[in-house]
Structure 1
Amino acid sequence: MISSIAFGLLSLKEFMTEIFGDFVEVPLVSNEFLMIGFSPYSMPLKQRWRNNGLSANFMADYVTTFFPKSEYDQATSSRQNDIKSSVSFIANELLENAMKFSDDTVNQPISIQLYLKTDRLIFVVVNSITPEAVQPFQEFIEKLINSDIEELYIKQIEQNLENDTQSGLGYLTMINDYFARLGWKFETIQTEPKIVNVTTMVQLAI
């Protein structure tokens, strides 16, 4: 009986969900949303760099239809351009991260969703990562959550100039320049072989 309970607890732990930052579940009901999926079967995900920009620009153009501009009001034009630029940047960064760090041994698709709310846009990206990458990623997220963003942003820019890397700068830019709120959910969806899905959420006030 004790061994059965221990096994049950172990199984629950293996499938445990971990939440970081500002993450909320988004119901599909009564939300305007757009979803794009990328399958690893027709072409390896890490070879789709051109698709990232095309998809991000498509999402940006889609969103601007809900923010029409008027030739009589310059403010509407400025707002539309700001939203379009923000959506294009954030969507592209999220897709690049998802493609770059996806676990290409498990053939899991990548999806990006964009929800339009009355006061914000919500981006949701789902991709798999290798089990070995979970802890370093979570440690980076904890650092991101608990650090002074401006200081960390400047420090990261300096490190990138020295080492010619872009690690984490996209997330920092979203927070520092676009005042976005970020959250993550880690889920083990299979144990043999182990498959870990990461859902990244970005909330952008409009």
Structure 2
Amino acid sequence: MAMLFGTTDIAIGMKDSATRVRLFDGPLDLSWHHCATTSDFIADLFALHIQSSRDDYREVRHSIGYLVNELIENAVKFRAPGEITIEAAIDSGCFKVKVSNVVDGETAVEFQNLLSEITVGDPSELLIQRIEANAADPEMTSSCLGLLTLMSDYGTRLAWIFSPAGESDLVHVETYASIPISKIHS
């Protein structure tokens, strides 16, 4: 059975006009370099739609790049072997992205527990609490600082859908995000 965390209304399929990029496992293995390269490509591609000024273009490119990089890094860091699919589109004044990958069952449960904490309450307050917790415990590995920064500082709306991935212990994770860009270039 599928489980949803976050903003329900953005957890819908991408339009047919979405741009799709797939990162495959292979001899080069997926790494951090692929995250930055892919997010830069997507940010450049979608920021080109912003023609009003050079500053607007830079701001939109930065926001899209930061969002996409954070989501791809999380997918690479926590994934089970397999491909990662990124779908992106601009719709109704928002940049929307969906990142899909597979994780093992234990990772899924740990992530769901973190999402249960960060999807309730004020993201700004949670961000400060997590920063303080990280400062007190430098060994902390699951802080969600990137996701909380996106929610607090960039106005990003996020949602996750977890569903079984066949008969194994694997879980399919779809991460949805929407960031407003209309106020930047209107």
The TM-score bracket by the shorter chain reads 0.7 to 0.9
- CA apart distance, 1:201: 0.6
Q: 1:66 maps to which residue?
A: 49
State the AA in 2 paired with 1:179.
G
Rounded Cα–Cα distance in structure 1 between residues aligned with 2:3 and 2:39: 28
Query: Residues of 2 paired with 1:146 and 1:118: CA distance?
Result: 26
SS of the equivalent of 1:190 reads coil
Separation in structure 2 between the aligned mates of residue 149 and residue 28 of structure 1, nearest angstrom: 28
Distance in 2 between residues matched to 1:37 and 1:25, nearest whole Å: 19
5+ residue gaps in structure 1? 1-15, 70-75
Using the alignment, how far apart are the partners of 1:163 and 1:111 within structure 2? Answer: 34
- Cα distance in 1, alignment partners of residues 132 and 148 from structure 2: 13
Distance apart, 1:88 and its partner CA: 0.8
Q: Is the 8 A contact 2:11 2:160 kept in 1?
A: no
Deviation at 1:27, TM superposition (A): 4.1
Report whether the alignment pairs 1:152 with 2:126. Answer: yes
1:147 counterpart SS class: coil
Corresponding position of 2:55: 78
Aligned residue for 2:176? 201
The match for 1:72 is none
Q: Is the 8 A contact 2:102 2:165 kept in 1?
A: no
1:54 maps to 2:54: no
Q: Is the 8 A contact 2:102 2:173 kept in 1?
A: yes
Aligned equivalents of 2:14 and 2:64: distance in 1?
21
Cα distance in structure 2, aligned partners of 1:86 and 1:175: 12
Aligned partners of 2:38 and 2:152: how far apart in 1?
24
State TM-score, norm by structure 1.
Answer: 0.80
Match 1:161 to one of 113, 122, 135: 135
Amino acid at match of 1:199: E
CA distance in 2: counterparts of 1:92 and 1:125, whole angstroms = 11
**C-alpha displacement at 1:133, in angstroms?**
1.6
Residues 16-70 of structure 1 deviation map (CA, whole Å, 9 limit, x = unaligned) = 11111124212423x3x2221111123333xx1111111111111101211124x
Query: Partner of 2:24 in structure 1?
Result: 39
TM-score, length-scaled by structure 2: 0.88
Q: CA deviation at 1:77?
A: 2.4
Task: Name the amino acid aligned to 2:127.
Answer: Y
May I ask how many residue pairs the two structures share in their alignment?
A: 177
Letter in 2 for 1:83: V
User: For 2:147, what is the secondary structure of its paired residue?
Assistant: helix
* Aligned twin of 1:114: 88
User: Bigger radius of gyration, 1 or 2?
Assistant: 1
